[in-house]
Amino acid sequence: MTNLFTGQWQEVSNEAVPVRLNDLHVKLDDLTNNLQDHELEDSEIIGSGNCYVVSGSILSDSLAHLIPTSQLGSELRIKLWVSQELFLLKRIQIDGRLLPTDIETSVHVFSLMDINKPAEISSPLP
């Protein structure tokens, strides 16, 4: 992770990472199951594919297993972009106070791509 003050890379503990990616498929399934007042909003192109755009609301408490530092007790607006061809989740946009440091107008965007492809992340530290 890049240190905000020095601009240098440094290793951080798992507890310091704001998003938990283990068992991501289960967490994303939970996310869609906890979606409230959802409606099909539109269709949009993401990358080279057409996506359905679904909007709704979700309680921040429902996201605590994915984002452990989430602000509890907030109702958030959420948009999901779902591939029309494969029905894979491509993008998530969450509006509102997701984290304790957020303001009401905060917007968080998560893009999901190259699912099920091997990834190698090497540390830039010597």
CA distance 61 to 85: 31
Q: Which residues pair with 50 in a beta bridge?
A: 45
Q: Is residue 77 part of a domain?
A: yes
CA distance 6 to 23: 33
Identify the CA nearest to 28 among candidates 112, 119, 100: 112
Domain count for the chain:
1
Q: Is residue 54 part of a domain?
A: yes
pTM: 0.74
Helix (H, G, I), strand (E, B) or coil at 114: coil
Full domain range(s) for residue 25: 19-111
Two structure tokens written together for 55: 């909007």
Query: For a pLDDT cut of 70, what percent of the chain falls above it?
Result: 81
Query: For a pLDDT cut of 90, what percent of the chain falls above it?
Result: 29
Q: How far is CA 35 from CA 3, 63, 93, 109, in A?
A: 34, 11, 13, 17
Q: Is residue 75 part of a domain?
A: yes
CA distance 92 to 62: 15
Q: Is residue 10 part of a domain?
A: no
CATH code, domain with 56:
2.50.20.20
Q: What is the pLDDT of residues 68-95, one digit of tens each?
A: 778 888 899 999 999 999 888 899 999 9
CA distance 45 to 114: 16
Q: Is residue 3 part of a domain?
A: no
Q: In the predicted model, is pLDDT for residue 121 greater than 80? A: no
CA atoms within 13 A on the CB side of 7: 0
Q: Is residue 6 part of a domain?
A: no
Q: What is the DSSP letter of 100?
A: T
